[in-house]
Amino acid sequence: MKIICIAWNYADHTKELDNTIPSSPVFFIKPDTALLRNNQPFYYPDFTKNLHYETELIIRINKVGRSIEEKYARRYYNEIGIGIDFTARDIQRECRENGQPWTIAKAFDFSAPISPAFISVEHLGGLSDINFHMKLNGVTVQKGNSSDMIFNVDKIISYVSQFMTLKIGDLIFTGTPAGIGPVKIDDRIQAYINNELLLDFEIK
Ligand code: MG
């Protein structure tokens, strides 16, 4: 499986990183070795001094498809979860300054913790109004709502599937709202969809 991550999908976060709003979705890939499951602890890697959290809603693909029309995209998922797109911000800046891909800043081992449970989209009544937030050591540091995405999930699926086949079990990280920031050893991350705690792990 692969993990597709959308960059700059919330206007407030896009401004926070001094980027212009993209005219089509911008995405990158993490390999399956980036997954961190079951609320296991995350071990701070020694190659970065500025590791950032990015809290994101995640869609799980449940049907194989390519070149999917937006109007049919809803047939390709029925579960939503929450996760962290860990980013070595210092390495990412260096890569961008040198015109290089961000791969090592984003796709390293365990850089994608995901909630053990996913929620039925049907049960939520669709994706138009999903609140989510993340608490760092008990304090809410990021808050978002799916309605603030620049490109909604159906648009993302349609766009990405023009370039690469989506397979069962693929995950789409849908972008982060404003409020990103650094983590340190002994921090605790708790992420919620609506008010349901779904992801809860520690940095070691
Ligand atoms: Mg991200």
Ligand 1 centre from 30 Cα, in Å? 11
Ligand 1 centre from 191 Cα, in Å? 15
Ligand 1 centre from 57 Cα, in Å? 10
Which own/partner contact pairs does 6-9 have at CB distance under 8 Å and 24+ positions apart? 6/151, 6/156, 6/172, 6/173, 6/174, 6/175, 7/175, 8/150, 8/175, 9/149, 9/150, 9/151, 9/156, 9/174, 9/175, 9/176
Q: What is the token pair recorded at 160?
A: 């990405």
pLDDT digits (tens, 9 = 90+) for 42-95: 999 999 999 999 999 999 999 999 999 999 999 999 999 999 999 999 999 999
pLDDT at 19: 76
Instruction: Classify strands 196-202 and 188-193 as parallel, antiparallel or unpaired.
Output: antiparallel
pLDDT of residue 16 exceeding 80, the answer is no
Ligand 1 centre from 178 Cα, in Å? 11
pLDDT of residue 190 exceeding 80, the answer is yes
Residue 15's pLDDT band (cuts 50, 70, 90): confident
Residue 182's pLDDT band (cuts 50, 70, 90): very high
pLDDT at 83: 98
Each domain of the chain, given as residue ranges in start order, spans 3-202
Ligand 1 centre from 8 Cα, in Å? 7
Ligand 1 centre from 90 Cα, in Å? 15
**CA distances for 185 relative to 45, 55, 188, angstroms:** 10, 18, 9
pLDDT digits (tens, 9 = 90+) for 191-200: 999 999 999 9
Ligand 1 centre from 132 Cα, in Å? 15
Ligand 1 centre from 75 Cα, in Å? 25
Query: In this prediction, what percent of the chain has a pLDDT beyond 70?
Result: 100
Ligand 1 centre from 55 Cα, in Å? 7
pLDDT of residue 127 exceeding 80, the answer is yes
CATH architecture of 3-202: Alpha-Beta Complex (3.90)
Mean pLDDT, the chain, integer: 96
Ligand 1 centre from 53 Cα, in Å? 8
Strands annotated E in the chain: 3-7, 26-30, 35-36, 51-53, 55-61, 77-84, 87-88, 112-113, 119-120, 131-136, 139-145, 171-173, 181-182, 188-193, 196-202
pLDDT at 14: 72
Residue 172's pLDDT band (cuts 50, 70, 90): very high
Ligand 1 centre from 186 Cα, in Å? 22
pLDDT at 196: 97
pLDDT at 68: 98
